[in-house]
Amino acid sequence: MTSPAHALTIDVEDWFHICGVGGVLDKSRWTTLPSRVQPTTRALIDLLDRCGIRATFFVLGWVAERCPDLVATIASAGHEIGSHGHMHNRAYELTPETFGRDLDDSLSALRGCGIQKVVGFRAPEWSINERSLWALDVLAARGIRLDSSMAPMRVVGDPRYPQEIHRRVTASGDIVECPPAVGRLFGANVPMGGGWGLRGRRPAPVLRSLERRLRAGRPAVVWIHPWEIDDDPPRVPLPAGLRFAHYFGLTGFRQRLETILRGSSFAPLSDVAQMSATP
């Protein structure tokens, strides 16, 4: 990467990988549910190829075990591979020991797909926060040097967290933290670079915001999921908050996303972090 760009990241998980939901979406039933991760991820790869963009794909280990050819396709298309954990567990609901085992399982699954070196990690639901800062030490001890799990938002993190890419010191070495891009709405930090905050906005204001950030030397970390571009996404009853976060703005998002991707500059997370990390 020779010019400033935003980091484009994709969390490779299926439509049913939703934290904190039992019933039909309970982990014990995942193998019985219709998987959509292969066609939607391949559609994203094709979209990025048409736009000439390389990105970082944070792959869930559970997916990597079942779809090794998909991981190989991502890598052969020139994209960076990171870990999204193995069983889509929130970090703060684990102990350092169980978090470490889940991370090891994910790295082993990625190695089984031919990915020998993984330097980036993203916890499900931005779940490294004050209850789980120990996770950064666990990551660094296993050679992870980039983390994108600490959100400067109240619901999942803390609005006081830095909004810029920055370095954090751990007992096992420095780790570069890459927080998601947020905006302001009704006096609170809300997702701007992904989730319902990106899906629900027209491309023009998104692109203006991204341009302002680049001019200020503050690249955004943008995140999407393959299930967000599904033409016919499965739908199940969810609590109101999760229903909004998971389904709001899906209609037409694939087309809006392509407009955004073609209208700004994007690169893998490691490229952007290398140029942007502050002490």
pLDDT digits (tens, 9 = 90+) for 149-196: 999 999 899 999 999 999 999 999 999 999 999 998 888 999 999 999
Domain range list for the chain: 6-276
- Per-residue pLDDT band for 59 (boundaries 50, 70, 90) equals very high
Least confident piece of the model among 12-16, 133-137, 234-238: 234-238
Beta bridge partners of 147: 121, 177
Cα distance between residue 276 and residue 279, in whole Å: 10
**Contact between 67 and 37 (Cβ < 8 Å):** yes
Architecture of domain 6-276: Alpha-Beta Barrel (3.20)
Distances (CA, A) of 196 to 32, 78, 101, 148, 245: 28, 28, 31, 18, 6
Question: How confident is the model at residue 158, as a pLDDT?
Answer: 95
Burial class (CB in 10 A: 0-12, 13-18, 19+), 214: middle
Instruction: Give CA 144 to chain center in angstroms.
Output: 15
Checking if the pLDDT of 278 tops 70, the result is no
- Residue whose tokens read 């096992």: 172
Residues 6+ apart with CB under 8 A from 212: none
Q: What value does the mean pLDDT take over residues 137-159? A: 96
**3 state SS of 40:** helix
Per-residue tokens: 252: 């037409």
Q: What is the pLDDT of residues 192-229, one digit of tens each?
A: 999 999 999 999 999 999 999 999 999 999 999 999 99
- Per-residue pLDDT band for 85 (boundaries 50, 70, 90) equals very high
Q: What is the pLDDT of residues 92-127, one digit of tens each?
A: 999 999 999 999 999 999 999 999 999 999 999 999
Checking if the pLDDT of 1 tops 60, the result is no
Rounded to two decimals, the pTM is 0.96
Q: Which of 271, 269, 5 is nearest to 149 (CA)?
A: 269
**Contact between 165 and 139 (Cβ < 8 Å):** no
Cα distance between residue 86 and residue 97, in whole Å: 14
Cα distance between residue 145 and residue 267, in whole Å: 17
Least confident piece of the model among 28-37, 60-69, 248-257, 269-278: 269-278
Average pLDDT of the chain? 95
